[in-house]
Chains A and B, each alone.
Chain A
Amino acid sequence: MVAEALFFSAVLFTIGVVGVLTRRNAIIIFMCVELMLNAVNLSLVALSKLHGVTGQVFVIFVMTVAAAEAAVGLAIIISIFRHHESIDLKNINLLKG
């Protein structure tokens, strides 16, 4: 059961990485990051079956940080939208040489 959960976790993490690499919509990229956090949480819960309940405590911390990150990140996306009228990453290229 732990091995299967780790398998699903690896697949979900990979889907999140491919999503970040292939999309240009900032909000969808942000949701892909959330998917990666969820995949890591799944493997932490699975490994807590082997190494004790500390993994579940860590999952709670990860969720708190994810909530804080979502709030601040979405506020940043809103203020980017006010400047550029777009959240497409091809229009946000100030750092491009």
Chain B
Amino acid sequence: MEYGLLYQVIFYLFGLIAVASAVAFVTRKSPVAAALWLVNTMFCLAALYIMMNAQFVGAIQVLVYAGAIMVVFLFVVMLLNLGHPARVSDIKGLAVRLVAGLAGLALLAELFVIGRQKLPALLPELPPGSNVITPIAVPLFREYLLAFEITSVLLLAAIIGAVVLAKRKG
């Protein structure tokens, strides 16, 4: 299936906004500003998911990542009263930044070499108007039912662990 020019322009636009927000996120001193830039990145990723016909994953991305997880982060930032950037920035010195930049470039080059191989053909699209959740729900509740149930135990353990660890002593 060929995609139109408008589709490609919007796809690139969301991808570039996501990358730019991620750069802004890494370079902000204030944790609150960093968290809000990360929320922006996650919204753009949700848009990319929806453009790639993964509507359910896009909705979950907005609800769980941008909604729930980032709110927990912001709550912790405010609970610890870290909203104002420290007088001394927490970004490490020039030498460490240089080494980290070189490591990042090496990693990026490696990923590009891996990703340069020829991709197989796209699978056929679902017909327009068909249910988009059923194709995910069927494997989730048949093939991967055991993993799904174990995930619920993991969430229970995480809830108990979070309460026990964060509880104020005495």
Closest-by-CB residue of B relative to A10 is B111
Partner among B34, B38, B52, B60 whose Cβ is within 8 Å of the Cβ of A63? B60
Closest-by-CB residue of B relative to A71 is B162
Residues in B26-62 with C-beta less than 8 Å from chain A? 26, 31, 34-35, 38, 41-42, 45, 48-49, 52-54, 56-57, 60-61
Listed residue (A8, A42, A67) with the most chain B CB atoms within 10 angstroms of its CB:
A8
* Chain A contact residues: helix, strand, loop or mixed: helix
B41 and A22 contacting across the interface, CB-CB below 8 Å: no
Residues in B89-140 with C-beta less than 8 Å from chain A? 90-92, 96-97, 99-101, 103-104, 107-108, 111-112, 115, 119-123, 135-136, 139-140
A64 and B151 contacting across the interface, CB-CB below 8 Å: yes
Which residues does chain B contribute within 8 Å of A10, judged by CB atoms?
Answer: 108, 111-112, 115
Say whether, besides A8-B48, A23-B92, A79 and B166 are in contact (CB < 8 Å).
yes
B49 and A45 contacting across the interface, CB-CB below 8 Å: yes
Which residues does chain B contribute within 8 Å of A51, judged by CB atoms?
Answer: 120, 123
Residues in B46-83 with C-beta less than 8 Å from chain A? 48-49, 52-54, 56-57, 60-61, 64-65, 68-69, 72-73, 76-77, 79-80, 82
Cα distance A31–B11 in the bound complex, in angstroms? 25
Q: Is A92 in contact with chain B by the CB < 8 A criterion?
A: no
A49 and B52 contacting across the interface, CB-CB below 8 Å: yes
Say whether, besides A27-B76, A75-B161, A79-B166, A57 and B111 are in contact (CB < 8 Å).
no
Nearest-neighbour CB distance to chain B for A60, whole angstroms, equals: 7
Chain A residues within 8 Å of B, Cβ to Cβ: 1-8, 10-19, 21-25, 27-28, 30-32, 34-35, 38, 41-42, 45-46, 48-54, 56-57, 59-61, 63-72, 74-79, 81-82, 87-88
Which A-B residue pairs are the 8 nearest by beta carbons?
A68-B158, A21-B100, A75-B165, A10-B111, A19-B26, A75-B166, A75-B162, A8-B15
